[in-house]
């Protein structure tokens, strides 16, 4: 990176070197030092390689790992390097990795020699920094002897909410405690200021000026969909799994989202939701490193089945083959269903493909233990959360001839986008505590804690404020269509009602019906 983009005098301030060399000497130092910016989870140097650079951390957080375990942290103003490897030019046992988006200086081993040769006043500075590094190592060793709660308290003075910034296994290895103990620490913190029960506190915050409803044949729809998954396709086959599925009322969500839909179309959607819930839960159960492949196999198979990719379908292991067979059965049923047009099928195909694609992307983040930027997350989340799919499946609530023209779909695009955003914001608020407990950080609140160093309570308030703004925009759209009544707009008003059902029902089901987020 161009050295003109940073101020060499900042190094003097960060390292406390006032009075040890003139400012003019530090300006000259800028000719030898560069600066590097890296994203979270970037490996700066692998174990087994020689340390050829020394660094001063300007912002962010750096971790030192040995055998895959986090053993030390470096904060703003710290020098970080394996000093023994650097001095002796021998392979290092340690890996350095960015744990937050970070920025640091880079001085190579060869350039340090040139600095001491060309700028002799830095010899005193070099000797001071060597003693500073050694003293820092000794202080860390002494720090490691404190009780883990005292250490965490001190560390969070430097990085607020560090317990949420680090992965569960990273914090566990750093503090020398179990993953379960880390989960308890997180739970304890997330409750502070938010009431004894996170879900109860969110219930008080989330409300809508319109009501939810429930399909009058909901229980039958649920029973038939679960029977389809268990008895016909056996992808949902373990008794305990079926029992958990039923206890969480996963088969009932669609009956709240589409309360006035035709029974046969409603059953199709309920089966689709059972299939998608199974994929979501299976992803949580798979070990890191296998989640992305799981979704890629399904996505590639579906694309070949649809004829969107050429060639033979990919080989599927037997358990995944049963999932694919179920989808094939489901899709053929949709194509043959009465009063469903080709346009409706194509709309649903587009949304299902987007859902599978972004679920694959999410699985990749989880496999690699890295997290998207807030901007990327806001782009991906409406898709892999199912929020976009939920509002788009309203096309099945209309008669097929409605879609002979695309005017309805175009005119309600803003309503669908705002509705999907409200659904996923509610979901992230409701699910935050549970997802933190299992180490799943693909949540808006979790990313605000990580990227913006907010507390869980601050992140919650920020998301609630965003949600309020989105709801105001939605209600402005609602007012525009409700006040300008025109008989020709009756389909748009009908669509508006269906979207409001989904917004209100999604929150109600998550908070009052299901135990999924308890």
Dihedral pair phi/psi, residue 254, rounded to 5° = -65, -25
Using alpha carbons, select from 25, 156, 386 the residue that is nearest to residue 12: 25
Averaging pLDDT over each range in 24-28, 107-111, 254-258, 397-401, which range is the top one?
254-258
What pLDDT score does 188 carry? 66
Q: Given a cut of 90, is residue 273 above it in pLDDT?
A: yes
Q: Tell me: the pLDDT tens digits for 485-516?
A: 676 778 888 999 999 999 999 999 999 999 99
What pLDDT score does 404 carry? 66
* pLDDT-derived band at 386, boundaries 50, 70, 90: very high
* Mean pLDDT value of segment 34-60: 91
* Mean pLDDT value of segment 383-410: 87
Q: How far apart are CA 192 and CA 26, in angstroms?
A: 46
Q: Given a cut of 60, is residue 218 above it in pLDDT?
A: yes
Q: Where are the beta strands (DSSP E) in 246-296?
A: none
Cβ(346)–Cβ(352) under 8 Å?
A: no
Q: Are strands 102-108 and 34-38 parallel, antiparallel or unpaired?
A: antiparallel
Q: What percent of the chain has pLDDT over 90?
A: 57
Q: How far apart are CA 297 and CA 356, in angstroms?
A: 11
DSSP readout, 84-123?
Answer: HHHHHT-B-S-EEEESSSEEEEEEEHHHHHHHHHH-TTHH
Report the 10 Å Cβ neighbour count for 406: 10
Q: How far apart are CA 95 and CA 278, in angstroms?
A: 37
3-state secondary structure 38-83: ECCCCEEECCCCECCEEEEEEECCEEEEECCEEEEEECCCCEECCH
Q: How far apart are CA 419 and CA 471, in angstroms?
A: 9
Q: Kindly provide the b/e burial profile for residues 284-322, where b requires at least 16 CB atoms within 10 angstroms of the residue's own CB.
A: eebeeeebbebbebbbbbbbeeeeeeeeebbebeeebeb
Cβ(132)–Cβ(15) under 8 Å?
A: yes
Q: How far apart are CA 45 and CA 51, in angstroms?
A: 8
What pLDDT score does 500 carry? 95
Contacts of 22 (CB under 8 A, 6+ apart): 121
What pLDDT score does 18 carry? 65
Q: How far apart are CA 19 and CA 508, in angstroms?
A: 64
* Mean pLDDT value of segment 122-143: 86
* pLDDT-derived band at 518, boundaries 50, 70, 90: confident
First to last CA, the chain: 48
Q: Tell me: the pLDDT tens digits for 308-354?
A: 887 788 889 988 999 999 999 999 999 999 889 999 999 999 999 99
Mean pLDDT of the chain: 89
Q: Given a cut of 90, is residue 64 above it in pLDDT?
A: yes
| DSSP three-state, residue 159 | coil
* Mean pLDDT value of segment 260-283: 96
Cβ(125)–Cβ(19) under 8 Å?
A: no
Beta-ladder partners of 72 = 64
Q: Tell me: the pLDDT tens digits for 153-212?
A: 999 888 888 888 888 889 999 998 888 888 888 776 655 544 457 888 898 889 899 999
What pLDDT score does 2 carry? 39
Q: Tell me: the pLDDT tens digits for 220-239?
A: 999 999 999 999 998 988 88
Cβ(79)–Cβ(132) under 8 Å?
A: yes
Q: Given a cut of 80, is residue 405 above it in pLDDT?
A: no
* Mean pLDDT value of segment 284-312: 92
Distances (CA, A) of 106 to 2, 39, 414, 491: 12, 16, 48, 62
Window from 111-125, 281-295, 375-389 with minimum mean pLDDT = 111-125
Beta-ladder partners of 106 = 34
What pLDDT score does 193 carry? 44
Using alpha carbons, select from 329, 323, 222, 315 the residue that is nearest to residue 276: 323
| DSSP three-state, residue 37 | strand
Compare 445 and 199 and report the one with higher pLDDT: 445
What pLDDT score does 3 carry? 39
Torsion of CA 45, 48, 49, 52, to 10 degrees: 70
Using alpha carbons, select from 381, 311, 395 the residue that is nearest to residue 350: 395
Longest pairwise C-alpha distance within the chain: 86
Beta-ladder partners of 59 = 103
């Amino acid at each position: 990176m161009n050295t003109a983009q940073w101020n060499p005098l900042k190094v003097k301030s960060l390292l406390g070197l006032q009075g040890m060399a003139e400012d003019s000497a530090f300006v000259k130092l800028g000719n030898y030092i560069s600066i590097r910016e890296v994203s979270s989870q970037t490996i700066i140097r692998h174990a087994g390689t020689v340390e050829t650079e020394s660094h001063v951390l300007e912002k962010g957080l750096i971790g030192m790992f040995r055998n895959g375990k986090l053993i030390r942290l470096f904060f703003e103003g710290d020098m970080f390097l394996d000093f023994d490897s650097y001095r002796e030019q021998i392979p290092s046992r340690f890996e350095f990795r960015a744990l937050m988006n970070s920025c640091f200086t880079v001085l190579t081993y060869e350039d340090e020699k040139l600095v001491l040769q060309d700028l002799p006043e830095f010899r005193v500075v070099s000797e001071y920094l060597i003693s500073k590094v050694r003293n820092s190592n000794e202080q860390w060793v002494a720090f490691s002897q404190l009780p883990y709660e005292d250490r965490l308290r001190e560390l969070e003075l430097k990085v607020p909410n560090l317990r949420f910034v680090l992965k569960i296994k990273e914090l566990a290895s750093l503090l020398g405690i179990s993953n379960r103990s880390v989960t308890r620490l997180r739970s304890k913190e997330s409750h502070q200021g938010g009431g004894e029960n996170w879900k109860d506190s969110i219930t008080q915050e989330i409300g809508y000026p319109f009501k939810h409803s429930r399909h009058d044949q909901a229980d039958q729809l649920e029973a038939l969909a679960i029977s389809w998954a268990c008895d016909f396709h056996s992808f949902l086959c373990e008794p305990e799994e079926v029992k958990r599925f039923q206890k969480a009322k996963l088969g009932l969500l669609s009956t709240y989202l589409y309360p006035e839909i035709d029974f046969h179309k409603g059953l199709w959607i309920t089966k689709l939701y059972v299939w998608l819930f199974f994929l979501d839960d299976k992803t949580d159960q798979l070990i890191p490193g296998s989640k992305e492949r799981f979704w890629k196999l399904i996505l590639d198979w579906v694309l070949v089945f649809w004829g969107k990719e050429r060639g033979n379908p990919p080989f599927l292991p037997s358990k995944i083959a049963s999932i694919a067979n179920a989808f094939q059965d489901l899709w053929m049923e949709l194509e043959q269903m009465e009063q469903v047009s080709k346009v409706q099928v194509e709309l649903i195909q587009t949304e299902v493909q987007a859902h599978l694609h972004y679920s694959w992307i999410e699985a990749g983040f989880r496999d690699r233990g890295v997290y998207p930027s807030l901007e990327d997350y806001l782009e991906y989340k409406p898709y892999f959360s199912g929020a976009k799919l939920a509002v788009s499946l309203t096309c099945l609530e209309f008669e097929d001839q409605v879609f002979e023209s695309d005017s309805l779909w175009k005119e309600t695009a803003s309503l669908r986008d705002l509705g999907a955003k409200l659904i996923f914001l509610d979901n992230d608020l409701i699910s935050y505590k549970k997802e933190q407990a299992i180490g799943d950080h693909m949540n808006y609140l979790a990313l605000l804690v990580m990227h913006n160093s907010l507390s869980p309570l601050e992140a919650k308030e920020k998301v609630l404020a965003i949600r309020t703004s989105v709801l105001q925009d939605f209600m402005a759209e609602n007012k525009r269509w409700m006040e300008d009544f025109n008989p020709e707009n009756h389909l748009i008003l009908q669509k508006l009602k269906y979207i409001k059902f989904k917004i209100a029902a999604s929150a109600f089901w998550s908070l009052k019906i299901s135990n999924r987020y308890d």
